[in-house]
């Protein structure tokens, strides 16, 4: 017994060569729930003890069966599991695409991907993560790490591994260098002058409605209510690899919404529509020259020139959304009203007041007119082609925006 040791469960024993007296390995033994004796040999004591712990855990969980009756565990590689896992998960097309590129770039060609799921240790992950950081930026590293971690979490749920080896603290947290900025109404007005006429109404709309780029690029004639001075946002366009532009419902249910617009914006929009928009209810309000929804890259090129021209190269398209939010806030809109206008989902009680909030949006739009600055030629264009109804009465009056349904 000198060479062995007792534990709470089973025991380990050193094995040595009878002639030389040298240690040849370790053996672990225990008595199973069926009172049978079970043993296994290992090269190190640590491994022997680890096995005992594992067996003990099986018994504690009621999952123990005699070793010779256990089904051989199929070894699944990380690559195999990830592939299957992505297929099963419910993901938005864009996300699926994103994840597939993660796998392609950072797993299939990496030694980690070929390893058996169960064989991957925290150390393996750490090594892989530092490789990751060498090949890509901090944000991407964090995103990919977070993704792999989520895959392992799924593997844990699938009982393929006991724990998630992704244990690097904070590694999935992407550092943010927030460069949030907004434009002034004057800057917007100036930017319009540097845009092709085709794009002016679109940018104006973006800056005062807060629509997402995917939303206004896909706006259809039927979504525009000139009389009610509002647009209905229920779809957006996305660029997907291999599929070109794809139209789908908005991001969230609460994202389907009605956004009221200031009268002056509606005026510009109306003029624009008569000149550029496609015919019919499904006609694009802002078609490209060849009649497709304006693509992200085109929008970027166009906007880039304008923002350079006004000396605001830092102003991104998405910042127009923040601009719109800020202006709406100036009218005295509440948080709930702003969220509704921007299409944020509101998990709180605000939804109880949905009707009231929607009604308020019209008032916000009316109030916004006080803040708008427009280039002279756009103002003139607005007056040349007055909208029959929307122009009646003072737009300052709170009753101006909301009309019938």
Residue 74 or 290 having the CB closest to DNA: 290
* Exposure letters 218-249 (e unless 16+ CB within 10 A, then b): bbbeebbbbebbbbbbbbbbbeeeeeebeeee
Round to whole Å and give the CA distance between 48 and 26. 7
Of residues 178 through 197, those in contact with DNA by CB under 7 A are 178-180
Residue 107 or 294 having the CB closest to DNA: 294
Q: How far is the CB of 30 from DNA (least distance, A)?
A: 32
Three-state secondary structure readout of the chain? CCCEEECCCCEEEEEECCCCCCEEEEEEEEECCCCCEEEEEECCHHHHHHHHHHHHHHHHCCCCCCHHHCCCCCCCEHHHHHHHHHHHCCCCHHHHHHHHHHHHHHCCCCHHHHCEHHHCCHHHHHHHHHHHHHHCCHHHHHHHHHHHHHHHHHHHHCCCCCCCCCCCCCCCCCCCCCCCCCCCHHHHHHHHHCCCHHHHHHHHHHHHHCCCHHHHCCCEHHHEECCCCEEEECEEEEEECCCEEEEEECCCHHHCEEEECCHHHHHHHHHHHHHCCCCCCCCECCECCCCCECCHHHHHHHHHHHHHHCCCCCCCHHHHHHHHHHHHHHCCCCHHHHHHHHCCCCCCHHHHHHHHHHHHHHHHHHHHCCCCCCCHHHHHHHHHCCCCCCCCCCCCCCCCCCCCC
The dihedral through the CA atoms of 330, 333, 337, 341 has a sign that is: negative
- 37 catalytic residue (yes or no): no
Q: Does 119 bind DNA (CB under 7 A)?
A: no
Among 147, 208, 276, 286, binds DNA (CB under 7 A): 147
Of residues 366 through 385, those in contact with DNA by CB under 7 A are none
- 353 catalytic residue (yes or no): yes
Among 347, 376, 384, 388, binds DNA (CB under 7 A): 347
Round to whole Å and give the CA distance between 384 and 395. 18
- 212 catalytic residue (yes or no): yes
Token reading at 250: 């908005």
Of residues 14 through 53, those in contact with DNA by CB under 7 A are none
Choices 3-11, 41-49, 130-138, 366-374 (CB under 7 A): range interacting with DNA: 130-138
Residue 33 or 93 having the CB closest to DNA: 93
Q: How far is the CB of 214 from DNA (least distance, A)?
A: 3
Q: Does 345 bind DNA (CB under 7 A)?
A: yes
Q: How far is the CB of 359 from DNA (least distance, A)?
A: 21
Residue 8 or 242 having the CB closest to DNA: 242
Residue 153 or 379 having the CB closest to DNA: 153
Q: Does 101 bind DNA (CB under 7 A)?
A: yes
Q: Does 170 bind DNA (CB under 7 A)?
A: yes
Of residues 239 through 268, those in contact with DNA by CB under 7 A are 239, 241-242, 244-245, 248, 251-252, 254
Choices 4-12, 31-39, 213-221, 361-369 (CB under 7 A): range interacting with DNA: 213-221
Task: State the catalytic residue, choosing from 200, 272, 344, 395.
Answer: 344
Q: How far is the CB of 111 from DNA (least distance, A)?
A: 19
Q: Does 288 bind DNA (CB under 7 A)?
A: yes
Among 71, 176, 355, 404, binds DNA (CB under 7 A): 176
Q: Does 140 bind DNA (CB under 7 A)?
A: yes
Q: How far is the CB of 75 from DNA (least distance, A)?
A: 23
Residue 23 or 167 having the CB closest to DNA: 167
Active-site residue set: 212, 318, 321, 344, 353
Residues near DNA (CB under 7 A): 89-96, 98, 101, 105, 136-140, 143, 146-147, 149-150, 153, 170-174, 176-180, 212-215, 236, 238-239, 241-242, 244-245, 248, 251-252, 254, 288-290, 292, 294-300, 303-304, 316-318, 342, 344-345, 347
């Amino acid at each position: 017994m000198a060479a062995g040791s007792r534990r709470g469960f089973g025991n380990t024993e050193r094995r040595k060569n009878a002639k030389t007296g040298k240690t040849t390995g370790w053996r672990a033994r225990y008595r199973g729930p069926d009172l049978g004796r079970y043993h296994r040999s290992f090269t190190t004591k640590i491994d022997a003890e680890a096995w005992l712990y594992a067996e003990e855990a099986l018994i504690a969980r009621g999952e123990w069966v005699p070793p010779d009756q256990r089904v051989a565990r199929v070894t699944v590689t990380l690559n195999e599991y990830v592939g299957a896992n992505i297929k099963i998960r419910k993901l938005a097309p864009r996300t699926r695409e994103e994840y597939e590129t993660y796998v392609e770039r950072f797993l299939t060609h990496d030694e980690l991907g070929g390893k058996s799921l169960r064989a991957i240790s925290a150390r393996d992950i750490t090594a892989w993560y530092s490789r990751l950081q060498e090949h890509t930026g901090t944000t991407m590293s964090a995103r990919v790490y977070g993704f792999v971690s989520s895959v392992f979490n799924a593997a844990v749920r699938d009982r393929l591994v006991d724990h998630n080896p992704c244990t690097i603290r904070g590694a999935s947290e992407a550092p943010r260098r927030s460069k949030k900025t907004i434009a002034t109404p004057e800057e917007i007005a100036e930017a319009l002058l540097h845009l092709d006429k085709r794009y002016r109404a679109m940018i104006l709309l973006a800056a005062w409605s807060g629509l997402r780029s995917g939303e206004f690029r896909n706006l259809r004639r039927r979504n525009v209510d000139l009389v009610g001075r509002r647009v209905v946002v229920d779809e957006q366009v996305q660029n997907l690899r291999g599929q070109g532009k794809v139209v789908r419902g908005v991001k969230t249910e609460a994202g389907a919404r009605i956004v009221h617009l200031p009268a002056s914006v509606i005026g510009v929009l109306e003029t624009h529509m008569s000149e550029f928009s496609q015919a019919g209810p499904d006609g694009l309000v802002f078609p490209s020259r060849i009649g497709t929804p304006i693509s992200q890259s085109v929008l970027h090129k166009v906007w880039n020139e304008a923002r350079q021209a006004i000396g605001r190269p830092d102003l991104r398209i998405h910042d127009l959304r923040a601009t719109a939010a800020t202006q709406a806030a100036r009218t005295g809109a509440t948080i709930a009203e702003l969220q509704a206008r921007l299409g944020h989902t509101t998990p709180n009680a605000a939804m109880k007041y949905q009707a009231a909030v929607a009604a308020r949006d019209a008032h916000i739009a009316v109030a916004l007119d006080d803040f708008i600055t427009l280039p002279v030629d756009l103002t003139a264009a607005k007056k040349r082609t007055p909208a029959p109804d929307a122009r009646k009465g003072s737009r300052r009056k709170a009753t101006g925006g909301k009309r019938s349904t």
